[in-house]
Amino acid sequence: MLPVSQYSISSAPWRSRPALALATALLLAACGTPDPALTRSEPFDPYEAENRKMHEFNRSVDRAIVRPAGVGYTKAIPDDVETLVSNFATNLSLPSAIVNSALQGNGRAMSTDLYRFIVNTTIGLGGLFDTATDLNMPPKSDADFGQTLYVWGVHEGPLVELPFLGAATTRDSVGKLVDLFTNPLSYAVESPEQFYGTAASVSSSLSTRGQFSDTIDSILYESADSYAATRSIYLQNRRFKVSGGGSEGFADPYDTGSPALSDPYEDPYEQ
């Protein structure tokens, strides 16, 4: 389904309590035993019947709304403008990544993202231009709370198909919820400016859907089993990300030696 980055929402301190309570419950549930989701010979998908129904709902939404909007957006908006919007959305997501890197005890990633945010917000005119990359600064970390829970030892949990968002693990479902509250900009910026990030994120997601329309369509509408295909792609790419690319036996599927943009919907492990 449509990839969604960060959402900026208005919230009082009490609104974060349910999300933090869920995260705490997951953390307490983690133990020293092996993660059953990683020790099985097949995906840990005990809710497959329900997940397939939700997958069909998500496909219908994509077919009727998201795909036409994404393709239309890409055709209507000049490439340079799409790049500016994508840069702006990425820059606004950096404060959340900084918080998560701090929670993970990753000072290097936290510093890298902080410097990128400062440079792109100032010299890059609010993040419209990726000046940090032009200056050969290290790439952003993309840290999120699902990754933070992994670092804290929380198990991956069963697969779930989220409405509109697609495949996720139980751990990452909680992570997505908590990430709604981990971006400091949600608290520092007043309305209506605080919704600029949401609009930019949605626009960037539509741009991605349009740019990779052929690949996404082949998976969702031409695969013999689109649910199994998306499940496999999600799990392998997500496990690679949360493990930092260096543990659990996952090789970097994007280490091609080329700076070209990788297709986020390609199965890097398909033979």
Q: What is the pLDDT of residue 59?
A: 97
182 domain residue, yes or no? yes
Query: What's the number of domains the chain is made of?
Result: 1
Instruction: Say if 7 falls within a structural domain.
Output: no
Find the mean pLDDT for residues 31-41. 70
**Mean of pLDDT values over 115-121:** 97
Burial of residue 33 (CB within 10 Å: 0-12, 13-18, 19+) is: exposed
DSSP summary character for residue 166: E
Domain limits for position 146: 45-242
- Closest to 146 in 3D by CA, of 222, 205, 234, 263: 234
The model's pTM is 0.76
Distance CA 39, CA 145 (A): 23
In a domain, 174, yes or no: yes
197 is a domain residue = yes
The pLDDT of residue 126 is above 50: yes
Residue 185 lies in a domain: yes
Structure tokens at 180: 């709604």
Inside any domain, residue 95 = yes
Domain contains 32? no
Query: Is the pLDDT confidence value at 9 over 90?
Result: no
CB atoms within 10 A of CB 245: 15
Please, what is the average pLDDT of the chain?
82
- DSSP bridge pairs for 167: 161
Grouping H, G, I as helix, E, B as strand and the rest as coil, residue 233 is helix
Facing residues of 169 across strands? 159
